[in-house]
Amino acid sequence: MIAKGIDVRLFFKVSLGIICALAIYYFALSLDFGQFTPAGKHAFAVFCVGAFLWITNIFPLAITGIIVLFLLPASDAIKAHDIYSYFGNSAVFFVLGAFILASPVMRSGLSKRMAISIISKFGKGPKTLTSSIFVLSSFLAFFISEHAVAAMLLPIVIEIVKATKVSTRSRFAFASYMAMAWGAMIGGTATLLGGARAPLALGILQDTFNSNHKLSHFGSISFIEWTWWVIPIVLIILVVALVFVLLIAHNSQANIELAQKTLLQHKEKMGKISTREILTLLVLLFTIFLWVFYGTSWGLDWIALLGVILAFLLRITNWKEVERDVQWGIFIMYGSAIALSVTLQQTGAAQEIVHFILALGIESPIVIFILLIALACILTELMSNAAAVAVLLPIALALSIEYGIDPRVMTIAIATSAGLTFMLPVSTPAMALVINSEYVRLQRAFLWGSLLKIIGFFVIIIIALSYWPLIGLNIVI
């Protein structure tokens, strides 16, 4: 049913956004720099519009994706049938399979059982309780989207905090909420399963270099390689974040006994572990096993779809649940971002942007690498982390060729730094969920998040310069 009234503020916001987008499009076309082809000039203009809409979040990500998909062929930057082919990218189907598999994990009660069991067992005091929330949140985000982890744990955290009967300015309450959010966000960067940005980055990398015979060996990263390269960064930032949680919870006054009783009541209501939970756990472990040991040879997407088939055959999920649980709009955003990235490459627009940057006089590959990481850290606070990857990575990959930087290093660094979303609620639902709570003040979360982001930025650089070369992943090729 269509609403009877019109939201005047929203109408003017959208109208202004459309006017600004049109102005940006024609302004980009009028810019006189580089030697763009006509198609390249229009691809650059569409890129500017997409970046503007993703940053301002005037429209949902999927709607901006549709606008990009419309503008690319409308401006003759690329043919329509070529655009739609990018929805067949293997990364898109990998994410689709991972999202579908996450549905029975939550619907069966398996994830909730794990959460309640661990928190009730290890949460004996304010510090240990907040620590158990943090560890559980980060561990689950290794295997489930950080968005799903935050949505699953939030009701549990709310009940724990309310059961302790603390005030809205309680240190314990603030520590509990931030433990859940930080754990999910940091843990979600450890594998390709924890969020949208990593598979999107992998998809852009694959489509950029698979057609380049000279550099095709740089166009893929296996499931285990991604985790092996990223895990030191994740572990260090997790330790720092846990120290922050403990500092926040220090000397906090909270009635933990009441919280324990609430958790035990929930555990009793759930009863014994069900057959559906056991089968869900087996399918998930089997799929992860195949991703780790056969992901390169069989394909991450193929294994994900195999896991989905098993889930339906064993009847641990059904299509109605999947329809409600999967964020379908993310696939439109994925396809449009990959199409835009490849169009920038094929039309030569990315190269012209790179030449403009080269003219600034930056000669060191390490300096440009660090600057791109810093830019990713900034952009991810202004837009969703997946959108930050979509905007920045195509240009970063083009720069990697000019500066002799390993494209895999650039891809992992950009995707990981885009996951450091600790300051504002714009970038990820995990932060948005906790900021909406009366127990969390934005200024306080911003301060702690800023410190964590700065430390995370330096951790990425140090690991990239020291650890990665030791395992054969050199920044400069």
Statement: residue 414 has pLDDT above 90:
yes
Question: CA 5, 8, 10, 12 torsion: positive or negative?
Answer: positive
Which tokens hold the place of 39? Answer: 């198609």
CA of 264: how far to CAs of 119, 320, 346, in Å?
10, 31, 59
Taking the C-alpha atoms of residue 452 and residue 422, their distance in angstroms, rounded to an integer, is 7
Least trusted range by pLDDT, from 192-201, 297-306, 328-337, 439-448: 328-337
Residue 149 CA, distance from chain mean position: 13
Domain spans in the chain, listed from the N-terminal domain onward: 82-470
pLDDT tier, 2 (very low <50, low <70, confident <90, very high otherwise): very low
Longest dimension (CA), the chain: 69
Residue 213 pLDDT grade (very low, low, confident, very high; cuts 50, 70, 90) = low
* Rounded percentage of the chain residues whose pLDDT exceeds 70: 95
Q: Looking at residue 162, what is its pLDDT? A: 79
* Least confidently predicted of 242-251, 329-338, 406-415, 460-469: 329-338
What one-letter code names the amino acid at 155?
A: P
b/e for 279-311, b at 16 or more Cβ within 10 A?
bbbebbeebbebbeeebeeebbbbbbbbbbebb
Q: Is 476 helix (H, G, I), strand (E, B) or coil?
A: strand
Q: Which two tokens stand for residue 426?
A: 């714009």
CB 330 within 8 A of CB 439: no
Cβ-based neighbours of 139, under 8 Å, separated by 6 or more? 187
pLDDT tens digits for range 308-333? 999 999 999 999 999 988 878 877 87
Pairwise CA distance, residues 36 & 303, whole Å:
41
**What Cα–Cα distance (Å) separates residue 236 from each residue in 8, 32, 146, 233, 448?**
48, 45, 18, 5, 17
pLDDT of 214 reads 67
Indicate if the pLDDT at residue 123 is higher than 90: no
- Distance (Å, whole) CA 368 – CA 382: 21
169-190 per-position pLDDT tens digit:
888 889 999 999 999 999 999 9
